[in-house]
Amino acid sequence: MEQKNELVHLFMTVGRLHRRCIENTVRGLKIHPSRHRLLVDLSRPAALPTQKELAERLDVSTAAVAVTLKKLEENGYIGRKADEGDTRFNRIALTEKGEAILKETRTLFDGVDEAMLAGIPDEEQALLLGCLSRMKENLIALCDDLPCRESRTESSPAAAPLSSELSEPKEELP
């Protein structure tokens, strides 16, 4: 049992340290981590989202998204385009400046990832990948079966089963 506790503790510590390194990298670029996270989400190959769709995907309030979008737009990272089907809605898109900052951060983040995995042979990385994939699937199954999920409102993004959210790999800030 002690090994399991140590493993879980180490797993969580590595996640926190990785996140801290990533956030420090973003801070050096003078963009708030939450704004960067929204830019990363916008870079996914999908239809241009509305403000409401972004809030649902990020599991945050529409008000929080509105404030973040306003700052990103003021700084030239995003633009808004009227929805072709319904002009009452605006679609959010990255500008060239937004794409440029993401390209820069991807390079920096790759450096963090390489440093984290330094000295770990490819075979061990493959083994770790298999173990982490299994852990993810175990947690998805556990969360989908928890009774507390039924008490959430249907309109909440958290109401959907985790298996539907996490079935495809998503690039996000760690």
| Whether residue 155 has pLDDT greater than 50 | no
Tokens 């929204």 sit at which residue? 38
Number of domains observed in the structure of the chain: 1
| Poorest-pLDDT segment among 2-6, 84-88, 136-140, 165-169 | 165-169
Query: Two tokens at 152?
Result: 């959430």
In a domain, 37, yes or no: yes
Query: What is the tens place of the pLDDT at every residue in 21-76?
Result: 988 888 888 888 888 889 998 998 777 888 898 899 888 999 999 999 999 999 99
Is the whole model's pTM more than 0.75, yes or no? Answer: no
Residue of 11, 6, 33 whose CA lies nearest to 109: 33
In a domain, 174, yes or no: no
Q: Are 110 and 104 in contact (CB under 8 A)?
A: no
> Which CATH number belongs to the domain containing residue 162 in this structure?
1.10.10.10
Contacts with 79 (C-beta within 8 Å, 6 or more apart), sequence order: 73, 92, 93, 94, 95
In a domain, 172, yes or no: no
In a domain, 76, yes or no: yes
In a domain, 14, yes or no: yes
Phi/psi for 110 (5° steps) reads: -60, -35
Confidence (pLDDT) at 26: 81
Residue of 115, 11, 31 whose CA lies nearest to 77: 31
Query: What is the tens place of the pLDDT at every residue in 118-128?
Result: 999 999 999 99
Share of the chain above pLDDT 90, in %: 49
Containing domain of residue 156, as a range? 2-166
In a domain, 171, yes or no: no
Confidence (pLDDT) at 148: 52
In a domain, 101, yes or no: yes
In a domain, 138, yes or no: yes
